Structure 1
Amino acid sequence: MTHHNDPPGVDTPDAYAASGVDIAASDRTVDALVGVLRTIEAGRPSRVVDLPGHYASVLRVTDELGIAIGTDGVGSKLVVAEETGRLDTVGIDCIAMNVNDVVCVGAEPIAVLDYLAVEQADPDAAAAIARGLKTGAEAAGVEIPGGELAVLPELIRGHPSPHGFDLCASCFGTVALDAIVTGADVAPGDALVGLPSSGLHSNGYTLARRALSSLGYDDRPPELEGDTVADALLEPTVIYVRAALDLLRSDVPVHGLAHITGGGLTNLLRLHRGVGYAIETPLPVPGIFALVERLGEVDAREMWDVFNMGCGFVCVVPADRAVEAVALLDAHHPGAERIGTVTGRAGEIGYPA
């Protein structure tokens, strides 16, 4: 959980709380962390650009140049990887969760440093994880110049032991200080262009695994249209960086960029809290969500409050440029479409009835 960049708190959804994730308690914990970290005195003027609640932090390097930084991990999706022995895609998730955040401030991600903590040193497992990191890095156009491996048998316990691990990373990018996408330009009437997700991405897995606990990983329920449960749960997070950068380099004004992670489309509220967002024509919802909703007996609204529901990234552009933006983004991610409109109802997310 990132502590500087989470969306505004919401009440803990019932099913998510029952699975062991209390969002309200998490929000209080974030507040406790930030309350102390805000008091740091570095002995010099702060280099931090004020972007409260955004997806990444930006530090001034010169009067013109900033470094954008973010950090994240794969979360409990790793439990599925451990239990199935399929380790070669979670590195993609690790890269995606970081680079997709950093590009949201208008930055070009340039490098990622990974941190791999393991219960037991295993060269074959590490090589499989590294293959995913390599695939993700190449898709995002970033380098991995270094990282850290920690062997922590006292802290890490696997599913099964001794094959446990945790994987997280930090991403670094560059951005011109006068080109930061702060979200301040988001205004009522702007268009929301959604980019399709590949499924759950790397969020809500505590709830999803509980909901699907009656199934085996090799089962093929009808909602998955021939895929196994393991296939659906381990489908990698989509990397949106090249599409976002192409949009930023075009002449289409970009008012906001939002990575849709845990909390679903409430992530849009990070951009500008003085407006609201009406979701009028959602993107198609992959079958894994219907399966979680059915077997977990999860309320439909709670599904929208926890998961991306088929939309992994949103670009906010002027309404009269939406067609151009859709065409540009669809070239990278087929199925990109306008999904809604910015409203004047501050802090509200409106979904279709």
Structure 2
Amino acid sequence: MVNEYKKSGVDLDSVKGIHSAIVDILSKTYKNTVLGAGHYAGVIKIGDLNLAMHVDGVGTKTLLALKTGILDTVGIDCVAMNVNDIACVGARPLAILDYLALEKEDKDLVMSVLRGILKGANYAGAEVVGGETAIMPSVVNGFDVSCSVLGKVEKLITGKEISPGDLVIGLPSNGLHSNGFSLVRRLIDEGKISLKDYGEEIMKPTAIYSNIILSVLNKIKGAAHITGGSFSKLHRVTGYGIDMKMPDPPEIFKVIENAGVPHDEMYKVFNMGIGMILFISEEHVDDVKRAIAEKNINAIDLGKVTKDHSEVILRTYKGSVLHL
């Protein structure tokens, strides 16, 4: 049970049930689908090509973007949430579409968000080929933004190759990224976190990992983008057990925890400083870590895959042991 998040209006257990129902319905449409709903991206076969597709937004982070005036970073967030996910199935992003819904006309807002989308797309090596802007008073509060991405699968990775003994490494996050903001906003509204003191830290954009994953694609067995639902996402990638010791998280996570979120719940809602997890055989781990270091990123040793259980065990920085 994730109590504080539920009080903020998000029931993760209920959401999982909705997702399961959606997957069951969508599967009835599959004809050329190689990888369907329930993984990080859908993959469809067209001729000799496997094409990956995904759609995602930035959630209620948009409301804090309006409060802080930091608008361009949510455009980067929107791109990151998409390109990171298709990279988890081995796809290189090619084209992006954006959808921006507004409560009222606001050219400055549109241009700020678009600048962020373009910056993220350029970094990921994708083209923004079009989009849609809608004015929807009484439907939208402020604005909402989402993107769709199309990518070419260079090597399909689903996690099926993962086996006991494989090593698990993490890539550091850039902060909260784009999840848990309904909870963060409630803590701000209750005066438990100062937006003046922590606004810039909270609004840091989601890190883009797609280039890193693609550079080591032939040496990894699986990848997991840590987003909504946090480390429960690892169940998407493998049915084996995973035993990980988590590092000391960045200060912003401790601020949130000290504002009243139980320690265990932090690891069920937030990325706690780890934005992407890679699964690698022991023979390739040094090569992968070296390639990541060349991009000025320090990979973090987290643990390994086990055969003794089918759950994710997290050993937190405070010494707690969580079973997910």
- CA offset at residue 51 of structure 1? 5.0
Alignment of 1:151-170 (within 5 A): 151-157=135-141, 164-170=142-148
- CA offset at residue 286 of structure 1? 1.0
> Relative to 1, partners in 2 of residues 1:319 and 1:52: Cα closer, same or farther, differing over 3 Å?
farther
Q: Which has the higher strand share?
A: 2
Query: Following the alignment from structure 2 to structure 1, what is the Cα–Cα distance between the partners of residues 296 and 168?
Result: 15
- CA offset at residue 49 of structure 1? 0.7
- CA offset at residue 269 of structure 1? 1.2
The reply on whether 1:310 has 2:273 as its aligned counterpart is: yes
Q: Cα RMSD between the aligned structures? A: 1.6
Report the AA paired with residue 167 of structure 1: V
8 Å contact 1:196–1:333 — kept in the other structure? no
Query: Following the alignment from structure 2 to structure 1, what is the Cα–Cα distance between the partners of residues 255 and 32?
Result: 46
8 Å contact 1:196–1:283 — kept in the other structure? no
Tell me which of 282, 307, 312 is aligned to 1:344.
307
Alignment of 1:171-250 (within 5 A): 171-176=149-154, 179-213=155-189, 214=191, 215-219=193-197, 229-248=198-217
Report the AA paired with residue 231 of structure 2: L
* Structure 2 residue matching 1:39: 3-state secondary structure: helix
8 Å contact 1:322–1:338 — kept in the other structure? no
Tell me the residue number matched to 1:4.
none
* Structure 1 residue matching 2:72: 3-state secondary structure: coil
The reply on whether 1:277 has 2:242 as its aligned counterpart is: yes
Query: Following the alignment from structure 1 to structure 2, what is the Cα–Cα distance between the partners of residues 146 and 201?
Result: 25
Which moved further from structure 2: 20-29 or 192-201? Answer: 20-29
Query: Following the alignment from structure 1 to structure 2, what is the Cα–Cα distance between the partners of residues 319 and 52?
Result: 30
Tell me the residue number matched to 2:117.
133
Which moved further from structure 2: 318-327 or 235-244? Answer: 318-327
Tell me which of 61, 68, 74 is aligned to 1:84.
68
TM-score (norm 2): 0.92
Q: Which runs of 5+ in 2 are unaligned?
A: 320-324
Report the AA paired with residue 331 of structure 1: E
> Relative to 1, partners in 2 of residues 1:300 and 1:333: Cα closer, same or farther, differing over 3 Å?
farther
Alignment of 1:65-80 (within 5 A): 65-80=49-64
TM-score (norm 1): 0.85
> Relative to 1, partners in 2 of residues 1:54 and 1:36: Cα closer, same or farther, differing over 3 Å?
closer
Aligned-pair identity in percent equals: 39
Aligned residues: 314
The reply on whether 1:54 has 2:39 as its aligned counterpart is: yes
- CA offset at residue 34 of structure 1? 3.3
Report the AA paired with residue 174 of structure 1: K
Query: Following the alignment from structure 1 to structure 2, what is the Cα–Cα distance between the partners of residues 88 and 28?
Result: 34
Q: Which runs of 5+ in 1 are unaligned?
A: 1-11, 158-163, 220-228
